[in-house]
Structure 1
Amino acid sequence: MKKLTLVAGAALALVSNLALAQSTVTIYGILDGGISNVSGLKNGNSTAIVSGIMDGSRFGFKGSEDLGGGYKTIFTLENRFELDTGSVSNRPPSGAQLPDRLSSAEALGLSPTPTNVATVAAVSAGIGNTVGVNLAGNLFDRQAFVGLVTPFGAFTLGRQYTPAYLVGATFDASQTQSSLAAGQVGSFPPSFDIRLPNSLQYGIKVDGVTAALMYAPGEVTGNSSARRFYGAMAIYKGNGYSAGIGHNTRNNEFGQKSLTNTVLGATVDVGPGTLYGQFATIKDDNPTNLSFITNTDVLAAFNNAFKQNANLLHIGYKFTSGVNTWVVAYSKYDDKKAANSDTSSYGATYTYALSKRTSLNAVLVRFDNKGQAQSAPGQAGFLGGVTAAAGVGSTNVALGINHKF
């Protein structure tokens, strides 16, 4: 199978790509692993055998039944797993460590009274224990949806990729692969909703235009606006170029407007390769999942610390020649808050195709942190966590093998 992308991973693209007769089921997957070294961490460099350098390891099932008259039922069930351990979840190399700005009363702007110190320590530890991927151990954490393809579009429901994220992935030169991916510089707190459970989506493809609308009720009894989500996207692909726009907005557990993104992207064929660019806005004035904090002063301090007001910039170039593929890219999380926690990443990846299904990969990426930023590079399958202290940068070197079936 090809890497999950907008075309392969979303129901809206299946409108045009499925040409199956009667009923079929496909088993597919990616096995991706290697060795990764990350510098700048609290306990020194981390060298480890990891899963998910270029792609998150996975297996899945997708199927279609031809109902006739241009109608089909479709489904996808996609599991994530760790190739190195066999588990379905992981923690970043820095473990439960939070950025310095979230780890002490003084950093949060609170007076260092015994009560504040103890409360902040307990809250920081609790939040730190939630940092990771699929810590709940869900069986089909990547995707799980069913839908109906009609002559006038596809309707799907379940756990799906969000519209703005799909636009960001499409106009990322690395296609979300490795620590070079644009979204790596905005991973904590999360700058995008990647997938969403309990979602309804309508997608359509007409000529060169692919578009989708998504809605997810918050399913909070007594508050219909709590955790509610809306998203939309449109991409146009022309001859040698493409452009797109996506928008997501989600409410917090109180029904207040929370994480909101708008993504603009474009590609153009230049020379032997393709030039990629995107610009995204990240806004969150009412962070989610902090209502468990009962001390009002501490709650206000954490709310302020978790707010986001930033832009994400990305430019990259991808070039393939025979069995060789190179990607170079630069990304920047430009923090507009007083903390000025800016993170820039730059580097390159190289892929050597041993066959249509198997490749060898090399990654070299540098993260530069400014202000109170402490981002460390992760990979396609896991978060990077945080560096030793504010302003400390980090370098990632990784070598791996990727096999698709």
Structure 2
Amino acid sequence: MKKSLIAIAVLAATSSAAFAQSNVTIYGILDAGITAERGGAQGNVTKVTSGAASASRIGFKGTEDLGGGLSAIFKLETGVKVDDGTLDNTTSTLFNREAYVGLSSKTAGSLTLGRQYTPYYETLRDVGDPFAMGYAGTAKNLFPVASYMTRNSNAVVYKTPNLNGFTGAVSYSLGEQQGDASAARQVGGSLGYANGPLNVAVAYNMKNNDTTVLKTAGVGHNSLVAANYDFKVVKVFAAFSKDKGQGSAPINGAASATATTNAFGYTFAQSADSQDALIGLTAPVSEAGTVMASYIRKNDKESFNRDADQWAIGYNYALSKRTSTYVAYAKIKNKNGAGYTVGNNTEAGTGDKAFNLGLKHSF
């Protein structure tokens, strides 16, 4: 009897110790389908693609309760390609999507260090884009959210707790250029307010393009206002961005942020002075189905006047809480030598029109 009581006491102590350790979750998204791209210089292409609606990924995240409302948090997330099983980036970076560790407080907010999303990108994704950066209609096709505008490495990010509907974030990404603390650094921030059907936010991003060698590359500035309002029968979206300076409008999918030989066969340089406007909607058409639509205009303020317009429509149907199927179509009209392409959440695209049909499962 005494041995049994001792065994129970040891088991209880062991269980308590286990619960005090980090709570780790393995999660992911598997998204695959058919994409048909039209209008490219090299001709039409139809392919099995990965991550059209949401980038396919696997991740690990966890928390440890430190007491007093304070927790240690971490996240490691890598992108994968379901169509061929490889990483979804060309640099072979293992955790290319997110990699950070930090502290979170229920009353003081969170502070994290590592590779993380920019406040500008999160604002457009969560508030302004009815396609949530996915499908053929993604705002990535025309808004300046490519490359360093999506995520920062070497970033320190502070996020406030929710204060009566108000939330905020500040991001500082160190350039890590020897002898010059300002070179290659990136600073961003956002402020949002959500109350009932209304969700509105503003965001800012600044990127210094200088290096230890080149001191005259210039600074890019981006200012964004985004909002949505849920009327129940339809949810309307709007976003407006002002992009000024070198590096303020990196081209989606380009090897260089400044210029690329695009899908239409000619050199297409980014604008250093442009504006982006979006209007869109989502509407439930059944208990499980949702229609998405948007119109985006890229207004190039430079003398080249390389404007572009995008129209997009999509439909998502939830087969369950974790599995959905979707279809989407978008078309871009380029003007005066502009060469923007219709991509999706993961790919930049090869032409001015694209169609997606796919299946997504979350775990």
Q: TM-score scaled by structure 2?
A: 0.84
* Letter in structure 2 aligned against 1:138: T
1:324 corresponds to: 289
1:373 corresponds to: 338
Q: CA deviation at 1:285?
A: 2.9
* Letter in structure 1 aligned against 2:244: K
1:142 corresponds to: 97
1:195 corresponds to: 151
Offset from partner CA, 1:38-96 (integer Å, 9 cap, x none): 1101121110010011001000000000011010000010000111111113xxxxxxx
Query: Any conservation in 2 of the 1:38–1:395 contact (CA below 8 Å)?
Result: yes
1:242 aligns with 2:205: no
> Residue 325 of structure 1: SS of its match in structure 2?
strand
2:16 corresponds to: none
1:163 aligns with 2:163: no
Shift of the 191–144 alpha-carbon distance from structure 1 to 2, 3 Å rule, reads closer
1:285 aligns with 2:261: no
Q: How many equivalent pairs are there? A: 323
Shift of the 187–39 alpha-carbon distance from structure 1 to 2, 3 Å rule, reads farther
Gaps of 5+ in 2: 1-18, 258-266
Counterparts of 1:262 and 1:402 in 2: how far apart (Å)? 33
* Letter in structure 2 aligned against 1:277: A
Counterparts of 2:148 and 2:246 in 1: how far apart (Å)? 14
> Residue 149 of structure 2: SS of its match in structure 1?
coil
Counterparts of 1:21 and 1:333 in 2: how far apart (Å)? 52
1:266 corresponds to: 227
Q: State which of 299, 323, 327 in structure 2 corresponds to 1:334.
A: 299
Offset from partner CA, 1:255-286 (integer Å, 9 cap, x none): 55423211101111225121010101122336
Counterparts of 1:45 and 1:307 in 2: how far apart (Å)? 27
> Residue 341 of structure 1: SS of its match in structure 2?
coil
Offset from partner CA, 1:11-47 (integer Å, 9 cap, x none): xxxxxxxxx9753100000000101101101121110
Query: Any conservation in 2 of the 1:191–1:282 contact (CA below 8 Å)?
Result: no
Counterparts of 2:304 and 2:236 in 1: how far apart (Å)? 32
2:183 corresponds to: 226
Shift of the 214–164 alpha-carbon distance from structure 1 to 2, 3 Å rule, reads same
1:343 aligns with 2:301: no
Query: Any conservation in 1 of the 2:136–2:355 contact (CA below 8 Å)?
Result: no
Counterparts of 2:36 and 2:334 in 1: how far apart (Å)? 18
Counterparts of 1:339 and 1:285 in 2: how far apart (Å)? 15
Query: Any conservation in 2 of the 1:264–1:279 contact (CA below 8 Å)?
Result: yes
Cα RMSD (Å)? 2.3
Q: CA deviation at 1:382?
A: 1.3
Q: Which moved more, 1:176-185 or 1:240-249?
A: 176-185
Counterparts of 1:344 and 1:192 in 2: how far apart (Å)? 24
Counterparts of 2:132 and 2:296 in 1: how far apart (Å)? 13
Query: Any conservation in 2 of the 1:53–1:380 contact (CA below 8 Å)?
Result: yes
> Residue 160 of structure 2: SS of its match in structure 1?
strand
Counterparts of 1:70 and 1:369 in 2: how far apart (Å)? 52
Per residue, is there more strand in 1 or in 2?
A: 2
Which structure has the greater CA radius of gyration?
A: 2
Shift of the 191–344 alpha-carbon distance from structure 1 to 2, 3 Å rule, reads farther
The 5 Å alignment of 1:22-101 reads 23-89=22-88
* Letter in structure 1 aligned against 2:182: S
Gaps of 5+ in 1: 1-19, 90-133, 292-301, 388-393
